[in-house]
Amino acid sequence: MSKSVENKIKQVYAIQEYYIHKSTLGLPRIRIYDNVARLFPISISTFDRYLARNVRKEISDLRLDINELNKYKDDVIKAIQELEEPFIFYKRSENY
């Protein structure tokens, strides 16, 4: 297996984990893409393809080290969080 394939799988895994974390907090998909695109210059269609990719199956097929993947994921998420802009959730008042 080439290093470029392994690195791409690491990148996709980190982006998917970041997306899962932020989407459960209620952040819109386009905002998550904006945050990811600050670190990885990818298009929105590439972002959607990364999210649709079954990377966990690829990890198990290639027998990659999970500890190494999680360390890389944590480093990427920390880097994205340093670059992201704060997002303010506005609640509608009951008077509307």
- Per-residue pLDDT reduced to its tens digit, 44-82: 999 999 999 999 999 888 888 888 888 988 998 889 888
In a domain, 96, yes or no: no
Into how many domains does the chain fold?
Answer: 1
Q: How many other C-beta atoms lie within 10 A of the C-beta of residue 89? A: 7
In a domain, 74, yes or no: yes
Q: Domain limits at 73?
A: 3-83
CA distances, 63 to each of 8, 13, 53, 72, 90 (Å):
15, 14, 17, 16, 44
Query: Can you give the length of the chain in residues?
Result: 96
Check whether 95 has a pLDDT greater than 60.
no
In a domain, 14, yes or no: yes
In a domain, 89, yes or no: no
Mention every residue, 6+ apart, whose C-beta is less than 8 A from residue 55.
9, 12, 13, 16
In a domain, 16, yes or no: yes
